[in-house]
Structure 1
Amino acid sequence: MDILSVIGLILAACALLIGAVLKGAGLASLLSSAAFMIVVVGTVAAICIQTPLAVMKDAGRILPWVFRPPANRRGELIKRMVDWSNTARKQGLLGLEPIIERESDPFVRKGLQLVVDGSEPEVIRSILEVEIGVREQSDLRAAKVFEGMGVYAPTLGIIGAVLGLMAVLQNLADPSKLGQGIAAAFTATIYGIGLANLFFLPVASKLKVAIARQTESREMVIEGMISIAQGENPRSIESKLQGYLH
C-alpha cells in the first residue's frame, strides 16, 4: 500500500471541505448535480472520444497502482539471479530449465528461456528490450488517459461556470436569486480545477513513476540474464546489479 497516495487524497478532501467552511461558503455550496454532470460526466465523455477501448482498459488496469504499485523486490531478484548464475556454472545452462517452470514473472521466465536456449547475448538483449519498449509505451498511453482528463476537467469547469452565469442573467429581474446563482455557477469551476489538480494530474504522475520503476527492474533483469549467459562470476554479477538498488 502506498501510504502517501492515501494521505494525499485525504488531505485533498480536507483542503476543499474545510477550506469551504473556513471561507464561509459552507459544504452545501460544493454540492451541485449540474456541475457534476457538466464536469465529471463531460470529462469522461471527452476522454472516451479521445481514447481507444484497449487503452481505456489498460488505464483501468493500472489505476490501482496509485495505491498498490507493482512489487519492487529488486534485492530479492538479484539474489535469485546470483543463485541462477551459480547453478549455471555448476550444472550448465540446462540446469536452469526446472527454474523456468517455477518462475511466476512472464518477463523473467522469457529471459531464462532465452538463456537456456543458448541465445547470443545481443539476441537476448534485443528480444527483451523490444518487450520492455512495447510494454512501457502501452502503460504510458494508459497513464496519459488521466493526464488528458486533467486537461479537459478545468475547461469543462469554465463551461459550467458560463452556463451558470447565463442562467443568472436570465433572472436579473429578481435580485434575490443573483447571489445564489453566481455562487452555483462557480461550483463547476471548483469541480474542474479541483479534480484536475488534486486527482487526475497527480494520478498520472504517480503512474508514470511506477511505470519507470518497472522498466528499470526489467532492464536489471536483462543485464542479469546476459551476465548469466556469458558465464560471468556470480560475485561480479551481484556487484553489477547492486547499482540498480540506489
Structure 2
Amino acid sequence: MDLATLIGIVLSFGLVAAAIVTGGSPLIFISIPSMLIVLGGTIGATMVNYPLANILGLMGVIKKTFFSTLESPAEIIEKFMDYANRARREGILSLEPLLREIEDPFLRKGLQLTVDGLEPQTIEEIMETEISYLESRHEVGSEICSVLGAFAPAMGMIGTVIGLVQMLQTMSDPSTIGPAMAVALLTTFYGAVLANLVFIPMAGKLKTRSKEEVLRKEMILNGILSISKGENPRIIEEKLNSFLPPRERRQAE
C-alpha cells in the first residue's frame, strides 16, 4: 500500500468533509441529479474518447496508485552481483536453474535469452521493445485519468447551466428555485472535487509510477547485457550504481 496516496486521499476528503460538517448539515450537499450529470457524463464522454478495452483496463492501472510492488534498486543490484559472480565462476549456463525462482517476468525473460546464447544486440532489441510497450500502456492509463479530470469540471458546468435554465423557467414558483439552484451549484462542486482530488492526482501518480518502473527495467536490461558480455562483476556493480542517487549509491556498494 502506498502511504502517500492513502494519506493524501484521506486528508483531502477529510478536510473537505470537515468543512462541510462545520458549516451545517452535510445532507444539503447530496444531490442525485448532480451526481448523475457529473458521473454519467464524465464516464460516457471518456468512453467515447477511448476504446472499451482501455476503459475496462483502467482499474488495473489505478491499482498502481495504491499498491507498489517494485523492487528497490539496491535489491536489483544485489541480485545481479550474485548472477554475475555465479556466471563468472561457473559459466552462463549456471544461471538456468535460477530461472524458475525468478518472479519478475522481465528479468526472467532477459536471463533466459542470455542463457540461450543470444547476441547482446539481439537481447537489447527484444528487451527495449518490451520497455517501449510498457511505457505506452502506462501512458494510456495516465491519459485516461487526465481526460477524466478534464471532463468532470466540464460536466459540472453543464449541470450548472441545466440548473440555471430550470431555475429561470420557474421563477414564478419560488418553491422550485432552491432545488434548481442546488443542482446548478452542486454539479460544479462535484466536478471540481472529482477532478482535483481524484483524477488529476491519480494521473500524476501513474506518471511517477511509470518512470520508477522504467528505471528498474533499464537497470535490469543494463545488468543482463553486462552479464551476456561477460563483464567483470565490479564493473557491473558500478554501471548499476550509476542509476542511483549518490546517497543510495554509497549504501548499495
Contact 1:153 1:196 in 2 (8 A): yes
List runs of 5+ in structure 2 lacking aligned partners: 246-253
Query: Is structure 2 residue 80 aligned with structure 1 residue 81?
Result: yes
Report the TM-score when normalising by structure 1: 0.94
The answer (yes or no) to whether the contact 2:159–2:183 under 8 Å persists in 1 is no
Q: Could you list the per-position Cα deviations for residues 104-157 of structure 1 after superposition, in whole angstroms to 9, with x for gaps in the alignment?
A: 111101110111122222222111001100111012112211111111111100
Equivalent residue runs for 1:32-181 within 5 Å:
32-181=31-180
Q: In structure 1, the residue corresponding to 2:204 is in which secondary structure?
A: helix
Q: Is residue 58–residue 139 contact of structure 1 (8 Å, CA) maintained in 2?
A: no
Match of 1:3 in 2: 3
Distance 1:52 1:20, change over 3 A: same
Q: CA deviation at 1:178?
A: 2.7
One-letter amino acid of the counterpart of residue 210, structure 2: I
Query: Aligned pair count?
Result: 245
Shift of 1:74: 2.0
1:207-246 to structure 2, matched below 5 A, reads 207-246=206-245
Cα shift at 1:229: 1.1
Residue of structure 2 equivalent to 1:28: 27
The sequence identity of aligned pairs, in percent, is 38
Distance between the aligned counterparts of 2:71 and 2:46, measured in 1? 31
Q: Find the residue that maps to 1:245 and give its secondary structure.
A: coil
The residue aligned with 2:195 is 196
Q: Structure 1 unaligned runs (5+)?
A: none
Amino acid at match of 1:30: F
What is the rounded CA distance, in whole Å, between the counterparts of 2:179 and 2:43 in structure 1?
A: 28
Question: SS where residue 60 of structure 2 aligns?
Answer: helix
TM-score normalized with structure 2 length: 0.91
* Alpha-carbon RMSD: 1.6
Segments of 4+ moved more than 6 angstroms: none
